[in-house]
């Protein structure tokens, strides 16, 4: 969608950014070079340079994420070139840091060659299998902990590869690479952000453990990503199916499914949650019924039975080894706490948080486990939850690099002890931060709907993936206050200023304020082409970048930014469009003259009567849209360029069957700047209403809704 407006708009970054835009690409290149060297040299590297290169790769990635978040500078082509080199070397080289793919093959051979269940048999039961004997001895007495879907793939791979170790490892490595590339494409299409793609694909864990190691954890992560995207599009059943497939790879995918269902129940009601849950349950039940009850019980019996060196539980095991059941119970409580605190978030955020809590609090955790949460985290890669997930991966990659490659001398001994104590301690700190990373809703909105809601500003709810679109033309005098108050009202939202080449320097001033406030982007358009087209371009950009809620408001302070959380809360409850209304109980226009108020009310009544849409304030420009309702209607069919845009798009949503609610607001006159209202804009709106009303009566296609249906959630 962005390509359609590329000729008329240009995305700008703050003016001070170009001086430092080189930092992110340089850090990414350094990380890529270090990873490539580690993968290419592998076992030929002495322990000391190996550890230093792994630390350099992790440090470069960390700097890249921080620099990109603040100054940008990454392009998709550069990101692609930076990751394809280590990925290629990772496919060519045998596994360097993990041998799990060989055990995937072992369990596959138990099925394909020996016709037994890998959940009730172990490798030691087949001592004369030459392939099994060549894969090592660490897990010879451990049954499979992988889901039936992945076991079926392993069996097919073993049947096709036979005793060929090359074919075996390439099958798993290519599958992992395909999963990474698929996730990267989805993230790019949803965000149009090279930084988001780099956040996922350039993580050192991905090249070392996923691509080179052929780990199946990325399959769970891709399933969680797909489920989150489908849920954001209103396709709850499809989201449940995809999430269920992830649970058939590893049982831990069930945690992501639970997070998905809880967020859907909170935001959209019981029906949406039931659709997702039923679809996921059907898929998971079918898979495990075919595999047998042992496929479920075996992974559950082994969970928590071991304590890995990177686990937070290592802080306790130095004093006394806790019971595995206690470890699982504490982990369950932590995951539930994080889930409840993120239930008002977007599905991707909640799934990222709960899966990250699972890996941070588990008794047994490995770097590759971060792949469960990293793909959905990339959809909002600049959020604190996503940064915690990525940081955990860096800590584990660096820690296990030190654990597995100790070297002599004071530096080596000191580094080993620092990792031994530091990795569990940092994991604990990250876990505490995760539980505090998202705000809980202080007051749950009334699910019965209606306009009897708390006054604007009293309701505070987290607003993940939210974009505030503010069109401007010569609004320099109001800009600082409107941006500051908007950032105070919604600190986690992104702000998009759509400027129509204001001669007073509004765009330049917005870029300057963006440096201070953060997450403020300026979309420059050529010439003053109208409010409606400005909103259309802003909406397109928001949809292309994967935002779930899009706000529209004026820049003249007639709309109080403190009311934004209330509008978004209505969308979270299930509305497709929440309108800040002057003409419902509680709404007001205190500074208007009697004549202006009468004219405005008459225009709204006329539009409501002719279009037969039960909305009292169709011309209000203070609104919150659910993103998928904007995807459902065709923005190109919205013709109005002035304030008639508000009427036309609300009418289109009503015709599509969307739910519209009204929230009372106080509308105040601008105190600075010049109003853009003109008789031509009023005439355009009235002609639009009349034309649509006549057309629909001729074609007998009025909206079959009612006031009660549109206002009841």
| Measured distance CA(646)–CA(669) in Å, rounded | 19
Q: Is the pLDDT of residue 536 over 90?
A: no
- 398 and 487 in a single domain? The answer is no
pLDDT tens-place string over residues 317-354: 666 667 777 878 888 899 999 998 888 777 888 999 99
Decide if 608 is inside a domain: yes
Answer with the residue of higher pLDDT: 101 or 133.
Answer: 101
My answer on whether 153 and 244 are in the same domain is yes
Kindly state whether residues 369 and 493 are assigned to the same domain. no
Nearest Cα to Cα of residue 105 among 94, 96, 118, 92: 118
Backbone phi, psi, residue 626, to 5°: -75, 130
Torsion of CA 33, 37, 38, 43, to 10 degrees: 180
> 72 or 189, which is more confident?
189
Per the listing, tokens 């280590």 go with: 86
Ordered DSSP codes for 689-701: HHHHHHHHHHHT-
Looking at mean pLDDT, say which of 22-31, 307-316, 533-542 comes out highest.
22-31
Q: What is the pLDDT of residue 127?
A: 79
pLDDT at 82: 95
Domain check: are 605 and 648 in the same one? yes
The confidence band for 304, taking pLDDT boundaries of 50, 70 and 90, is: low
Which SS3 state, helix, strand or coil, does residue 86 take? helix
| Calpha distance 556→622 (Å, rounded) | 12
Q: Does any domain span residue 279? A: yes
Q: In residues, how long is the chain? A: 713
355-to-85, 106, 179 alpha-carbon distances in Å: 29, 28, 18
What's the pLDDT tens digit per position in 102-117? 889 888 989 998 899 8
In this structure, the answer to whether residues 533 and 632 fall within a common structural domain is: yes
Strand order from edge to edge, sheet including 660-664: 9-12, 520-525, 494-499, 466-472, 549-552, 623-626, 577-581, 660-664
Which has the higher per-residue pLDDT, 17 or 48?
Answer: 48
Residue-level pLDDT at 2: 33
- The answer to whether residue 450 is domain-embedded is no
> Tens digits of per-residue pLDDT, 161-192?
887 888 989 999 999 999 999 999 999 887 77
Q: What does DSSP assign to residue 5? A: G
Between CA 491 and CA 562 the distance in angstroms is: 11
pLDDT at 459 over 50: no
Q: What is the pTM of this model?
A: 0.65
Interaxial angle between packed helices 194-201 and 165-191, expressed in degrees from 0 to 180 and rounded to the nearest 10: 150
Which segments of 537-626 are extended strands (E)?
Answer: 549-552, 577-581, 623-626
Is 90 exceeded by the pLDDT of residue 53?
Answer: yes
Higher pLDDT, 423 or 655: 423
Which pLDDT score is estimated for 9? 32
**Residue 439 scores a pLDDT above 80:** no
Q: Which helix (H) or strand (E) holds 21?
A: none
pLDDT at 102: 86
Whole-number pLDDT of residue 296: 61
Query: Domain count of the chain?
Result: 2
Q: What percent of the chain has pLDDT over 70?
A: 81
Better-predicted residue by pLDDT, 550 or 307: 550
Of 21-30, 229-238, 600-609, the range with the lowest mean pLDDT is 600-609
Is 128:239 a contact under the CB 8 Å cutoff?
A: no
CATH code, 543: 3.90.550.10
Mean pLDDT of 36-53: 88
Q: Kind of pairing, strands 660-664 and 577-581? A: parallel
Statement to judge: residues 473 and 530 lie in one domain: yes
Q: Which residues are paired to 499 by β-bridges?
A: 472, 524
Torsion over CA: 522, 525, 526, 531 (sign): negative
- C-alpha closest to that of 86 among 195, 198, 185, 166: 198
What are 137's two structure tokens?
């001895």
b/e map of 420-450 (b: 16 or more CB within 10 Å)? beebbebbbebbeebeebbbebeeebeeebe
* Per-residue model confidence (pLDDT) at position 691: 62
Residues 504 and 384 in one domain: no
Residue 527 domain-assigned (yes or no): yes
**Residue 19: predicted pLDDT:** 58
Is the residue at 461 inside a domain? no
Q: Is pLDDT larger for residue 289 or for residue 690?
A: 289
Which residue intervals of 146-269 are DSSP H helices? 148-161, 165-191, 194-201, 204-205, 217-232, 236-247, 253-268
* Same-domain pairing of 33 and 171: yes
* Average per-residue pLDDT for the chain: 81
- Res. 711 pLDDT band, cuts 50 70 90: very low
Give the model's pLDDT for residue 282.
95
Q: Is 227 within a domain?
A: yes
Check whether 430 has a pLDDT greater than 80: yes
Q: What is the mean pLDDT of residues 10-23?
A: 53
Same domain for 153 and 72: yes
Rounded-to-integer distance, Cα 527 and Cα 534, Å? 11
Output the pLDDT for position 352: 94
- Domain contains 207: yes
Whether residues 51 and 122 fall in one domain: yes
pLDDT confidence band for 12 (50 / 70 / 90): very low
Average pLDDT over residues 243-269: 90
Q: Is the pLDDT of residue 433 over 80?
A: yes
* Same domain flag for 234 and 352: yes
Q: How far apart are the first and last CA of the chain?
A: 31
The dihedral sign for the CA sequence 72, 77, 82, 84 = positive
DSSP string, 606-666: HHHHHHT---S-TT---EEEEHHHHHHS-GGG----STHHHHHHHHHHHHTT--EEEEE-B
425 & 486 share domain: no
Would 449 be classed as within a structural domain? no
Query: Alpha-carbon distance 607 to 460, whole Å?
Result: 33
User: Angle at CA 571, nearest 5°, toward 570 and 572?
Assistant: 90
Distance, C-alpha 638 to centroid of its chain: 29
Q: What is the rounded distance in angstroms from the CA atom of residue 155 to the CA atom of residue 109?
A: 6
Q: Which of 436, 456, 481 corresponds to the end of one domain?
A: 436
Is the pLDDT at 238 greater than 80? The verdict is yes
Using pLDDT thresholds of 50, 70 and 90, give the confidence band for residue 449.
Answer: very low
The sign of the dihedral angle between the CA atoms of 520, 526, 530, 534 is: negative
Domain that holds residue 302: 2-436
Determine which helix (DSSP H) or strand (DSSP E) holds 557, and give its type and residue range. Answer: none
pLDDT band at 589 (very low <50, low <70, confident <90, very high): confident
Burial class (CB in 10 A: 0-12, 13-18, 19+), 354: buried
Is there a contact between 582 and 598 (Cβ–Cβ < 8 Å)?
A: no
């Amino acid at each position: 969608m962005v390509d359609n407006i590329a000729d008329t708009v240009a995305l700008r970054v703050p003016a001070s950014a170009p001086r430092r835009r080189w930092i992110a690409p340089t850090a990414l290149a350094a990380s890529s070079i270090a990873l490539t060297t580690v993968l290419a040299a592998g076992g030929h590297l002495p322990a000391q340079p190996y550890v230093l290169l792994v630390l350099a790769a992790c440090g470069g990635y960390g700097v890249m994420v921080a620099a990109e978040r603040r100054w940008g500078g990454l392009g998709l082509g550069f990101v692609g070139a930076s990751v394809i080199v280590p990925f290629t070397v990772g496919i060519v080289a045998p596994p360097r840091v993990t041998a799990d793919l060989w055990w995937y093959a072992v369990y596959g051979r138990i099925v394909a060659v020996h016709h037994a269940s890998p959940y009730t048999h172990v490798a030691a039961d087949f001592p004369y299998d030459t392939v099994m004997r060549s894969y090592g001895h660490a897990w010879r007495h451990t049954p499979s902990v992988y889901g039936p879907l992945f076991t079926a793939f392993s069996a097919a791979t073993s049947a096709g590869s036979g005793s060929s170790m090359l074919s075996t490892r390439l099958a798993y490595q290519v599958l992992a690479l395909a999963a990474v590339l698929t996730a990267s494409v989805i993230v790019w299409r949803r965000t149009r952000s090279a930084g988001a793609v780099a956040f996922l694909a350039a993580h050192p864990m991905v090249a070392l453990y996923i691509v080179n190691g052929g780990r199946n954890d990325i399959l769970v992560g891709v399933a969680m990503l797909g489920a989150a995207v489908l849920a954001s599009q209103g396709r709850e059943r499809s989201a449940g199916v995809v999430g269920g497939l992830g649970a058939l790879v590893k049982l831990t995918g069930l945690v992501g499914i639970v997070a998905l269902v809880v967020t859907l129940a909170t935001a959209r009601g019981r029906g949406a949650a039931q659709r997702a849950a039923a679809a996921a349950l059907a898929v998971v039940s079918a898979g495990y019924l075919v595999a047998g009850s042992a496929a479920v019980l075996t992974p559950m019996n082994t969970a928590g039975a071991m304590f890995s060196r990177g686990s937070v539980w290592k802080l306790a095991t130095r004093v006394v080894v806790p019971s595995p059941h206690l470890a699982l119970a504490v982990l369950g409580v932590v995951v539930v706490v994080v889930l409840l605190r993120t239930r008002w978030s977007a599905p991707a955020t909640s799934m990222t948080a709960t899966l990250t809590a699972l890996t941070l609090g588990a008794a047994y955790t490995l770097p590759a486990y971060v792949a469960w949460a990293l793909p959905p985290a990339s959809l909002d890669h600049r959020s604190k939850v996503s940064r915690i997930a990525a940081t955990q991966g860096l800590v584990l990659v660096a820690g296990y690099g030190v654990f597995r490659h100790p070297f002599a001398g004071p530096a080596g001994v000191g580094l080993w002890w620092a990792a031994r104590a530091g990795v569990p301690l940092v994991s604990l700190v990250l876990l505490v931060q995760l539980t505090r990373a998202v705000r809980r809703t202080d007051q749950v909105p009334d699910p019965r709907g209606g306009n009897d809601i708390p006054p604007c500003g009293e309701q505070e709810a987290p607003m993940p993936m939210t974009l505030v679109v503010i069109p401007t033309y010569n609004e320099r005098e109001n800009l600082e206050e409107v941006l500051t108050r908007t950032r105070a009202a919604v600190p986690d939202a992104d702000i998009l200023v759509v400027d129509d080449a204001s001669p007073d320097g509004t765009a330049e001033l917005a870029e300057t304020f963006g440096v201070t406030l953060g997450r403020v982007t300026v979309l420059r358009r050529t010439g003053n082409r109208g409010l409606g087209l400005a909103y259309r371009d802003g909406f397109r950009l928001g949809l292309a970048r994967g935002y779930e809620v899009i706000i529209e408001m004026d820049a003249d302070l007639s709309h109080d930014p403190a009311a934004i959380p209330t509008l978004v809360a209505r969308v979270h409850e299930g509305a497709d469009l929440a309108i800040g209304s002057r003409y419902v109980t509680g709404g007001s226009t205190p500074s208007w003259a009697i004549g202006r108020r009468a004219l405005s009310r008459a225009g709204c009544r006329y539009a409501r009567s002719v279009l037969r849409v039960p909305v009292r304030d169709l011309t209000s420009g203070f609104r919150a849209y659910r993103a998928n309702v904007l995807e459902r209607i065709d923005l190109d069919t919205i013709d109005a360029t002035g304030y008639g845009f508000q009427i036309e798009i609300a009418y289109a949503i009503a015709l599509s069957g969307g739910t519209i609610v009204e929230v009372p607001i106080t509308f105040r006159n601008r105190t600075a700047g010049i109003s853009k209202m003109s008789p031509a804009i009023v005439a355009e709106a009235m002609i639009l209403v009349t034309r649509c009303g006549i057309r629909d009566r001729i074609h007998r296609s009025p909206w079959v809704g009612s006031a009660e249906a549109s206002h009841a959630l």
